[in-house]
């Protein structure tokens, strides 16, 4: 006992510092683990995956994208429910200006290309009247296109593919998505490392004082790094349900406790970054199910040209010829497709507000089971969390070894 007291007297600053050093180890290992979750975006090292590192989230981006897309598709966004919120008349009003401009260009280009002599012979007033006649049917064409999309939305829009395309196009987007919704959880992990590290540091100090065994410090350092990493990650998600500890205080996993806040934040992020109106329009017009829709729109355009030319059909047949008139209809349909997405996007402010993707996702997320909700963040940890814990153990062991060198010397 006297030997222990003498050693305490000689090395009291070191003994006093041990719990604090352990707290620092707990904090540093957590910060390292957090950064390793997200950085670097691309593999850095010699031999992938053994000699080097890539952030856990970007490395597992393909799997996480699939999980996110599946969740969005199956539980959060019902395309029929969402698209039914669009009012065809309001969409037509929103895009009226650019639509009339596009129709003017299309009509003039088609007529100039397919019957330049006849077009040149017409006075400017007559040319304008022809264009106005074509423009008159444009709002009705928009309503018909929207009606077809609403009636066949499941056949023309793959919501999962829209999400996958957006997330794959920008790998940093997935990192931002996970990092933003998990920021409080990351802060909790770091704080957990400080508190648990300090407690284990007190135990470490007592064991060292009793044994003076050089292995105690690196072993305890590794244990602190390992245990605090493991504990912090578990406490993010568990317990899923609110539980009373020792009958005194209630406790619940941090991520589960923030459900309403996360739902609102996740909905805003998905609406702003993933399920945007431009991405949805691109998914409808260029997605894997777009062929049927494009064929339908071309058919509607040709039908609209027929209707607008119906009053002058005899004149058209004589002056233009049936074959050339058919070619003109096909050319008008093809050119309409070129203007389609840029024209549609003029309704983006109205469509964004009407679709209300953010609030829709937030409401649906609050209806998920605890386990389903957990899948928003859990896949980011599950597969490679042992690596993060192992790195924490190694850092703790190194710091503990340095401490033992200081005490033994």
What's the pLDDT score for residue 126? Answer: 57
What's the pLDDT score for residue 406? Answer: 67
pLDDT tens digits for the chain (409 residues)? 666 677 677 767 777 887 888 788 778 877 887 788 788 878 888 777 677 778 878 887 777 777 777 888 788 888 888 888 888 888 878 887 777 777 777 777 776 776 666 556 556 665 566 666 666 667 777 787 788 777 777 777 788 888 888 887 877 887 888 888 888 888 887 887 788 778 877 877 887 778 777 787 788 778 877 887 787 778 788 888 888 766 677 778 888 888 888 889 888 988 888 888 888 888 877 777 777 777 777 777 777 666 665 545 555 545 555 666 666 666 776 777 777 778 888 888 988 898 898 899 889 888 888 888 887 777 766 666 777 678 778 877 877 777 777 666 5
What's the pLDDT score for residue 329? Answer: 64
What's the pLDDT score for residue 13? Answer: 77
What's the pLDDT score for residue 49? Answer: 67
What's the pLDDT score for residue 280? Answer: 85
Question: Exposure string (b/e) for 266-287, b if CB count within 10 Å is 16 or more?
Answer: bbbbbbebbbbbebbbbbbbeb
What's the pLDDT score for residue 322? Answer: 61
What's the pLDDT score for residue 409? Answer: 56
For the chain, domain boundaries: 2-69+177-261+384-408, 78-173+268-365
What's the pLDDT score for residue 117? Answer: 62
What's the pLDDT score for residue 62? Answer: 75
Contact 187, 364 (CB under 8 A): no
Q: What is the pTM of this model?
A: 0.71
């Amino acid at each position: 006992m006297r030997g222990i007291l003498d050693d305490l007297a000689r090395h009291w600053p070191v003994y006093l510092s041990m719990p604090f050093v352990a707290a620092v180890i707990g904090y540093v290992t957590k910060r390292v683990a957090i950064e390793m979750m997200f950085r670097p975006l691309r593999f850095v090292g010699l031999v992938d995956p053994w000699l080097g590192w890539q952030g856990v989230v970007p490395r597992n981006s393909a799997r996480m994208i699939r999980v996110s897309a599946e969740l969005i598709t199956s539980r959060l966004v019902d395309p029929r429910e969402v698209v039914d919120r669009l009012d065809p008349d309001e969409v037509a009003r929103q895009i009226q200006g650019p639509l009339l401009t596009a129709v003017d260009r299309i009509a003039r280009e088609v007529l100039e290309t397919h019957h330049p002599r006849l077009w040149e012979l017409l006075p400017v007033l007559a040319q304008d009247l022809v264009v106005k006649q074509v423009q008159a049917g444009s709002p009705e064409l928009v309503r018909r296109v929207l009606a077809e999309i609403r009636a066949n939305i499941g056949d023309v829009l793959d919501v999962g593919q829209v999400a996958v395309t957006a997330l794959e196009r920008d790998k940093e987007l997935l990192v931002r998505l996970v990092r933003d919704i998990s920021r409080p959880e990351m802060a909790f992990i770091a704080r957990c490392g400080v508190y648990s590290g300090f407690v284990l540091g007190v135990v470490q100090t007592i064991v060292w004082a009793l044994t003076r065994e050089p292995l105690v410090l690196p072993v305890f350092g590794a244990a602190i790094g390992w245990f605090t990493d493991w504990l912090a990650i578990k406490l993010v998600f568990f317990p899923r349900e609110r539980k009373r500890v020792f009958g005194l205080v209630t406790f619940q996993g941090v991520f589960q406790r923030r459900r309403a806040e996360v739902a609102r934040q996740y909905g805003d992020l998905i609406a702003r970054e993933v399920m945007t109106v431009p991405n949805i329009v691109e998914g409808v017009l260029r997605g894997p199910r777009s062929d049927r829709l494009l064929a339908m729109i071309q058919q509607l355009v040709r039908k609209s040209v027929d209707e607008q030319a119906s009053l002058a059909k005899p004149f058209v047949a004589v002056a233009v010829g049936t074959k050339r008139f058919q070619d003109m209809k096909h050319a008008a349909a093809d050119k309409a497709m070129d203007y389609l997405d840029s024209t549609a996007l003029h309704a983006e402010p109205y469509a964004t507000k009407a679709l209300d993707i953010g609030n829709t996702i937030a409401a649906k997320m609050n209806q998920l089971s605890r386990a389903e909700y957990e899948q928003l963040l859990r896949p980011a940890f599950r597969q490679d969390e042992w690596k993060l814990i192992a790195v924490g153990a190694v850092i703790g062991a190194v710091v503990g070894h340095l401490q033992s060198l200081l005490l033994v010397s």
